Amino acid sequence: MTKAERLKLINDIESERDSKLLVYITGDRRGLETKIATDIFPIFHKHLMEIGHQNKIDLFLYSTGGITIAGYALVNLIREFCDEFNVIVPFKALSCATLIALGANEIVMTPMGQLSPVDPSIQHPLGPTFHPPGSPIQQITPVNVEDVNSFIDLAKSEFGLKKEDSLKTVFEKLVEKIHPLTLGAVQRSRMEISFLAEKLLKYHWSHQEKVDKVVQTLVRERFSHNYIISRREAEEELGLNIIKPEKEFTDKIINLFNQYSNILKLDTVYNPEALLGNSDKNIFTFYRGIIETNSLLHVYKTKKEVRRVISNHPNTFIPIIGYQEKIVEEGWFEETEI
């Protein structure tokens, strides 16, 4: 599909919704994933200044998550430029992207639209470390917020530890593996998520009991960060203001998403060997994120040099093939050719 055809889809969705459409895609191509982060704000501000204040802005959103406070701040930034803010979910809007959706007046979801618990992992400088296979460098292991709390719950509910001395021993074992400051950051993160979700949900309702129920469900009751909340569950169990588009409009939403999926090659695993082919060295450009309105396009792209390296291991006659990669250029760029 050409750029003109993609822009026509954007215009058609705007006409259908009587709104201005703002597209934000963070790629989850395996090996080239990107996340919601604070570097988007100058880009979003430029787009919003271009379209000016509107009665209604719809954010076309696809993301597997990112920095929690960045999602919260993005909602507040967009709301500076409109009277009503809505989110369109063609497929995945997980974790931090779910938080963004909570700040919308309406959430338009296709049948394959997905939300998730808001349950980030903490990567603290004092967090536990591990050695990846084949790497001499230690890496920090992210600590999942709910895993820590589930460990304490396991001691209480499954092993029946109730006495103060028993729980103290459990906590001391936990502290042996995870630094106390990291545990403090985990608890602070959980409190922050609850606070931000509550504030954003008040754009949905003023009814505190409804707000508390959704916060409790998304922050504490779905057990796994990987749990998928379907359109039906979002509407019937959480009570969110879900809009189910008719088939013709759904097709337009999915068609537009497919165009971005093709640009970012979301269905293609990053494979250096396949990219190099018969060459031993080449430079490749990867598109990894998109922010677009009908008048302006920015892409997050990475240009990297990939080199095939063949080495011989002293204990085997079979050559070992590896790859060296060097980033030549990376960041958000205004684009006119795509």
Predicted confidence band of residue 220 (pLDDT cuts 50, 70, 90): low
CATH number of the domain within which 244 lies: 3.90.226
**Domain membership flag for residue 281:** no
Name the percent of the chain lying above pLDDT 70. 75
pLDDT in tens, 188-212: 666 777 888 888 888 867 778 888 8
Say if residue 179 is in the same domain as residue 91.
no
- Residue 95's nearest CA partner among 118, 78, 114, 72 is 118
Q: What is the pLDDT of the chain when averaged over all its residues?
A: 85
Q: Which two tokens stand for residue 294?
A: 């009908």
Say if residue 90 is in the same domain as residue 169.
no
- Asked which of 154, 171, 187 is the last residue of a domain, the reply is 187
Residue predicted with more confidence, 173 or 200: 200
Predicted confidence band of residue 8 (pLDDT cuts 50, 70, 90): very high
Reduced to 3 states, what is the DSSP secondary structure of residue 291?
Answer: strand
- Residue 322's nearest CA partner among 314, 334, 338, 311 is 311
pLDDT in tens, 227-283: 899 999 999 999 999 999 999 999 999 999 999 999 999 999 999 999 999 999 999
Say if residue 145 is in the same domain as residue 60.
no
Say if residue 134 is in the same domain as residue 93.
no
Amino acid identity, position 20: K
Lowest mean pLDDT, pick from 24-28, 186-190, 285-289, 296-300: 186-190
Say if residue 19 is in the same domain as residue 70.
yes
Say if residue 88 is in the same domain as residue 237.
yes
**Domain membership flag for residue 77:** yes
Say if residue 108 is in the same domain as residue 246.
yes
For the cut 90, the answer to whether the pLDDT of residue 27 exceeds it is yes
Position 150 scores a pLDDT of 60
Say if residue 24 is in the same domain as residue 86.
yes
- The C-alpha atoms of residue 298 and residue 260 are separated, in whole angstroms, by 12
- The C-alpha atoms of residue 25 and residue 64 are separated, in whole angstroms, by 10
**Domain membership flag for residue 44:** yes
**Domain membership flag for residue 31:** yes
Report how many domains make up the chain.
Answer: 2
Residue-number span of the structural domain to which 138 is assigned: 121-187
Torsion of CA 173, 157, 209, 223, to 10 degrees: 70
Say if residue 66 is in the same domain as residue 92.
yes
Q: What is the pTM of this model?
A: 0.85
Say if residue 101 is in the same domain as residue 238.
yes
Say if residue 84 is in the same domain as residue 127.
no
**Domain membership flag for residue 139:** yes
Say if residue 22 is in the same domain as residue 7.
yes
**Domain membership flag for residue 313:** no
Predicted confidence band of residue 214 (pLDDT cuts 50, 70, 90): confident
